[in-house]
Structures are given as structure tokens and as C-alpha cells.
Amino acid sequence: MTSKILIIGACGQIGSELAQALRNKHGKDNVVASDIDSRNMEVVQSGPFEIVDAKDYNSVKNCIDKYDIDTVYLMAAMLSATGEKNPMAAWDLNMNSLFHVLNLAKDGVIKKVFWPSSIAVFGSNTPKENTPQHTIMEPSTVYGITKQVGERWCEYYFKNYGVDVRSIRYPGIISWKTLPGGGTTDYAIDIYHKALTEKSYECFLSADTSLPMMFMDDAIKATINLMEAPEEDVKIRSSYNLAAMSFTPQDLFEAIKKHIPDFTITFNPDFRQKIADSWPKSIDDTSARNDWHWQHAFDIEKMTVEMLEKLGEKYGVRIS
């Protein structure tokens, strides 16, 4: 029987590309996209779409009942930098939306849940290099706190109620399709836009701030691979570490400069520097690679070529 999928937060950075990938794979009529508004017309017009408030249990359940949904991808969240400006709003959205979906699964209304965690669960006392799957987690942002608490609840619902919930700790995600969305790693998206449109960029992190990053194609592939893995292969029900590459703003600048020689950069760290300094520099994702055979495809060079080519088409700029 074909799964009926609901994506909550389908107009966001990851949700919008996940919606397209799942519709291509399962057929557009089997993937319902939803969000609090209909701002992303590509998502809205490419298949079934509903206005759903992730904080409202009845709004979520009514959509699930209407389409006979069995699998939910809960992608709605307030990200790190935005969450620091609105702590209680971030807590409300990030936590209550998760409880609604977990409880619907516990009650047998849906069968399978994907919920994204983040490297923001780690803190300043976490080992910075090759951060282990199981380690000290003392997040310093409200976003990280919600993700750490969410991980514990996911594992609790699996162990106590048998809920088939699956999760990934996403690193910074880079895409040419969507604009930056309020995250600390979003400099790595904005820098490509500015390189093509202004030939200069002022970075809000220091030149040597190394962070784990991933190209969107790899993030979408990992998400779908995890959800399609046999249940017995999913051995971690809190959230899996996931990695592809780590680099600094200086590394990324140099990769772009190979294609745009007159590109310049300046560094003016702001409040996001403190957030970045609390996060890992690199991630050990051995568990994901062993349990469900995760493999990434993009490194910094391949990603840079793809970003500049696609954004160059958008802006009418040819690169070397």
C-alpha cells in the first residue's frame, strides 16, 4: 500500500526541497505539503497543500484525517538566531508541534514520524573534533535546548509506546533554491548570493570558525534513506549524527574565489559568533554509516560549482 505523507513546515528551507523530492518519488497526490501560510508557490502548486498551524493539535489532526496520512515529516521549527530573539515563541513552536505528532503516533493515528534535530544540541563542553554520537550535550541556545529535549522525548515515545520515530542531527544545510532562514550557518548560503551580485561579502562569523556543513541534496537523501530503512536497522531513536564536510568562512571564500577572482570578503562577527563557538567543528557519524549505510556525495568544491552555476543562472551571471 502506498504511504500517504504529510510534511508540516513544507515552505521552509529543508521542507520545500523535501516536498519536491518525495513528490517525485511517491507521486504528487501521495505527498501533502502544509505550512502556516502559502508563501512558497512552487510547493503550493505542485501538489496537495493545506494551511496547518503546527502548534495547534486540531489543525494537525484534521489534516491527517482528511488525507488519511500515515507518515509525518515535522519540519516546522524556529531556528537558532531567530529563536534567540524570541525564546518563548521558539519553545512553543518547536516543542508543542513535536508533542502533537508524537501523541498522534502513540494513539495509532499515524505510523511513522520524522523529526529533525541539529548540531545545536551540543554545547561548549562537547568535544569539538569528531563529536561522538553519545557525548556531553549542554546546548546554549533555546533552539538547541528544544532539540535536546525533543531527542529525549522521541526516544521515550519509542521505548514506552513503540512510536516509530526517526531523527537526524542536521549540520548547517546549504542550498541554492531557498534563501537563508535565520540560522547561524546561513552565512554559507548568503555568501554565494553576494559573490554573484555584489562581488563582496561581510561575514558575521570569524574567518577561522569551522562548522559541520552539508549540501541540501545530501540532506534530503539522508532523510529519505533513514525513513526507508528497515525498522530493525534504526538503532538510535534519539537522533543520528550526520556529517559530510566541515569548513571555515575563509575556506569557503577561497573556494568561491577560484571561480570569481575579484570576490572580496570582510569579517564582522556578531551575536551569532557566540552560538557558533558553542557548536562542534566536525562530526563522527559512524553510527549512521554503519546502521543504514549513509554516504555523502558533495564536498566543498563540488558544492561550490553547483551553487555558483545554479545561482548564476538565476542572476544572469556566468562564472569561470
Q: How confident is the model at residue 320 (pLDDT cuts 50, 70, 90)?
A: low
pLDDT in the model for residue 266: 98
Q: Which residues are catalytic?
A: 143
User: Structurally, what CATH architecture does the domain formed by 5-171+214-241 represent?
Assistant: 3-Layer(aba) Sandwich (3.40)
Handedness of CA 124, 127, 128, 132 (dihedral sign): negative
226-278 per-position pLDDT tens digit: 999 999 999 999 999 999 999 999 999 999 999 999 999 999 999 999 999 99
Coil, strand or helix at 238 = coil
> What's this model's pTM, rounded to 2 decimal places?
0.94
Q: Do domains 5-171+214-241 and 173-213+244-283+298-315 have the same CATH topology?
A: no
Per-residue pLDDT band at 180 (split at 50, 70, 90): confident
C-alpha cell at 166: 526517526
Q: C-alpha cell of 270? A: 556578531
When pLDDT is averaged across residues 68-77 and rounded to a whole number, the result is: 97
Question: What is the rounded distance in angstroms from the CA atom of residue 45 to the CA atom of residue 10?
Answer: 12
pLDDT of residue 1: 65
- List, for residues 289-298, the tens digit of each pLDDT value: 999 999 999 9
pLDDT of residue 84: 92
271 vs 80: CA distance, rounded Å: 11
Query: Where do the structural domains in the chain lie, given as residue ranges?
Result: 5-171+214-241, 173-213+244-283+298-315
| ∠ CA 77-287-128, rounded to 5° | 70
- State phi, psi for 284 to the nearest 5 degrees: -95, 110
Whole-angstrom Cα distance, residue 204 to residue 194? 13
Query: Cα(23)–Cα(25) distance, rounded to whole angstroms?
Result: 5
**Pair 117, 146: CB distance under 8 Å:** no
Q: What is the DSSP letter of 271?
A: T
Give the mean pLDDT of the chain.
96
Right CATH for 173-213+244-283+298-315 from 3.40.50, 1.10.1760, 1.10.3210, 3.90.25 = 3.90.25
141 vs 123: CA distance, rounded Å: 9
Cβ count within 10 A of residue 27: 11
